[in-house]
Structure 1
Amino acid sequence: MTTELVVSPSGHRERASLAEAPAWRAYAADLRDFLGLVAVLSGVGQLEVTELLVAHPLPDRYGELRNGVQVDLAAATDLAERMAAGVGPYCRLTAPGKLRIESGWDGAIHLLVNPAVADALTGLGGGNLSVERRTSAPEPEEESFVGDVADEEFWNGCGPPSAGWCSCGSAGRTGLWLPLVQGDAGERGPSGPDRTASPTPVGQSLPARPR
């Protein structure tokens, strides 16, 4: 069995307004401390970025972020805080067999940990944090399709956007066309109030390429 910890704001205003709420910074600080403790108890110093979803160009500080990249604990904590705040970029952070971090709704962060780690965290929370414990059968290990991190040559192959579309890859590579999300709907992500638009993960059916 594996244990899921759902960490979320204890206040209604923080769950509804996220980073715009007056007390969000206090929640974010407690969330960072909690994530750091979970990582230490799990024996994790780095996590792998998987299932990266972006709807807009990444900020300069995340320019090297790709599926398959290993990030240190400080960077992983920053990403988790941004996902909780609804600003992204969004991804799953994993240390196989030890820890998995992903975003949820309304400012929540979901952690999959070993039961012994969850036991050590019993009673923590309160104040700005709500910690819910769930126990479930472990998910089957998914085969990784990331053999190596894409280099700049690959990403520079993305052609210019056309009529709301962006060509991801070039001839001889992927040849996929992905729709661009307009406005800030895609920026808010799973934790944001506007959930009507989201990026399309690779492997999901795509609309026809514009002619």
Structure 2
Amino acid sequence: MSRLGRLSRRGWTALAAVAAMASLVAVPPALAHALPAGLGAVLKGAAQLVFSPADLLLVCGLCALAVQNGAEPGSRLRLVLPTAWLMGGAVGLGLPAKLATSWSSTVAFTLVGLLVALAVPLGQRLTTALAGVGGLVCGLAHGSSLALHSGAPPALAGGAIAVALITTTLTLALRPPHPDWMRVGLRVVGSWIAASGLLSLGWLLKGPS
């Protein structure tokens, strides 16, 4: 297959996965009552990730970091990140109160963004370890926020499905080898993520006015 054909196939793969994710989280309110209770909770769990900027930026940053370090880290990420998310969430469901993770999640995606922006060569093991830790921490936070609500386990599963869908979309669409423009583009995305993190840290330091 020609290079143009490979790029076209990547593009169609990404579009198909994004469309599937959109259909998962953007269910019209009029159909909400037509959904089984379990499925409705799954959709809410998926939407919770998509509309949580810090967690979403961390997931996207980890995807960029993985593909920067080769094809194998990207493949491992598709398994490790959703699994770690689900494991952390299962622990979080047993906690008596919601964890306050604003600082930890913001620092986490800021550091990941810096690693991507600087194109730091971490290797397979360290990249996979970071993905595992990130998934556990974010899953723990989501699980603790769902612990006192009905339908918590299906909602947690929905979040893990959303993580799996996003990581699959990005790691397949951006899998190496990378042309020069894509290497530069990944570093630019990393710098945006890091800049967003620094801005968020500034707001956290400022506190409520």
Q: TM-score range, shorter-chain basis?
A: under 0.3
More helix by share: 2
Query: Which structure exhibits the higher relative contact order, with contacts defined as CA atoms closer than 8 Å and separated by 6 or more residues?
Result: 2
